Amino acid sequence: MRQPVARCCSPLFLLSLVVAFALAAPPAAAVETVCDGLDDDGNMQIDEGCDDDGDDYCDASLVVIGAPAVCPLGGGDCNDENASVNPGRSEVCNDVDDDCFSGVDNGCDDDGDGYCDQSLAIIGAPMACPSGGGDCDDESSAINPGSAEICDGVDNDCAAGVDNGCDDDGDGYCDQNMAIIGSPPSCPQGGGDCDDGNGDTYPGAPEFCDDGTDSDCDGDLDPDGDSDGISDCVDNCPGVANPAQTNGDGDGSGDLCDCAPNDSRVYVQAPEINDSRDNQCPGDPGFGLIDEISGLAGFTDPDKKFAFCWTAQTGASDYRVIRADDPMFLSGCKDAFTTEVCSVDGDIPQPMRVHHYLVAPVAPNRGSFGADSRGVQRAGCP
């Protein structure tokens, strides 16, 4: 005998349960995926979720169609929860992709030297630039605030300009402590400046005695022209290396450069004395003349008379002066004798003419007049 089917299990009862459950269940949450000025999900809201941070840029994860009012500046907002982050922002070095372009801190350290570009702002201590900012050339890893300045026409350390510290005294020579590459404009004369705070000190500068300064940067405080280890200030033969400083005749001129090492009255640049000999050495002014006069000079005295003077010669007591109208002493030659070192000429030269003079000692020893304009040694008037 067939058993009756229970009411709870009848098809009609099951259908009624399904319909009742469907009517009682809440609707599924709507999700907007397109920003287009329409209520695409039918929830009576237009473009919800397109611009949550209100910066006028739509979320980068949503499709933008046309120019919807919710995002007048477009899409591409990579962080729609932060109004400071969107494609219209400038990138800041702060561990955030501020401009939604090329990733976090793009452009902060393009050369990878650990220093951020000086044109970009830095907030905190971002990973992009652990050494800080101030990189004045973010395309070269050799240029940053941590690099040493080199004299090469480049601002290597991003401080105080190109080649700062290379030539502080402006003498054209770079500091000897600075490396030089090529021929930079900062040091056209080269390097080796041993005192870059003194414009009178550089390689090849004139050296002066007893000034306590190595002016020519050769390592010696005083000049040593012959490099014999003896300063020229005291060297008895500064033109010839003579470390022994031998001076047999005691005249102050070293034997190696003394043309008469056994005669104390004859040496380089010795003064002429009235001793019937030539006191100079080859190359000295007056060499080849005996007892010649030096220091010839003329001037006009208060009475408008011309005075011709000379340096007194050691040992001489009397002098003879000759005067002529021409430099060869052939015209109008006259002579006079004096015990003074000046001879006053009362004759005024004719217009456009000058007088020419020579003088020689005559006592106790007769000396040389010297040469006329032709190089002829004069013995007096013709």
- Cβ burial of 285 (10 Å; 0-12, 13-18, 19+) is exposed
pLDDT of residue 299: 65
Instruction: Assess whether pLDDT exceeds 70 at residue 310.
Output: yes
Residue 173 DSSP code = E
Structure tokens at 237: 């033969």
Contact 188, 180 (CB under 8 A): no
pLDDT of residue 15: 41
Beta-strand relationship, 297-300 and 306-309: antiparallel
Q: Is 345 helix (H, G, I), strand (E, B) or coil?
A: strand
The residue among 64 and 220 whose pLDDT is bigger is 64
Segment 236-247 mean pLDDT = 91
Residue 296 Ramachandran class (φ > 0 left, ψ -120 to 50 alpha, else beta): beta
Lowest mean pLDDT among 27-31, 68-72, 201-205, 359-363: 27-31
Segment 86-93 mean pLDDT = 92
The residue among 372 and 223 whose pLDDT is bigger is 223
Stated as kind and residue range, the H or E segment containing 298 is: strand 297-300
Q: Is 357 helix (H, G, I), strand (E, B) or coil?
A: strand
Instruction: Assess whether pLDDT exceeds 50 at residue 14.
Output: no
pLDDT of residue 152: 94
Domains detected in the chain: 148-223 (no CATH), 226-268 (no CATH), 272-382 (2.60.40.10)
**Within 13 Å, how many C-alpha atoms sit on residue 9's CB side?**
3
Work out the pLDDT band at 163, boundaries 50, 70, 90: very high
**Within 13 Å, how many C-alpha atoms sit on residue 79's CB side?**
15
Instruction: Assess whether pLDDT exceeds 50 at residue 12.
Output: no
Q: Prior bond to 364 cis, omega within 30?
A: yes
Instruction: Assess whether pLDDT exceeds 60 at residue 22.
Output: no
pLDDT tens-place string over residues 173-208: 999 999 999 999 999 999 999 999 999 999 999 888
Structure tokens at 217: 């940067």
Average pLDDT, the chain: 85
Segment 79-105 mean pLDDT = 92
Structure tokens at 31: 């999700």
pLDDT tens-place string over residues 247-277: 999 999 999 989 999 999 999 888 888 888 8
Segment 99-121 mean pLDDT = 93
pLDDT of residue 332: 83
Give the rounded percent of residues in the chain with a pLDDT score beyond 90. Answer: 48
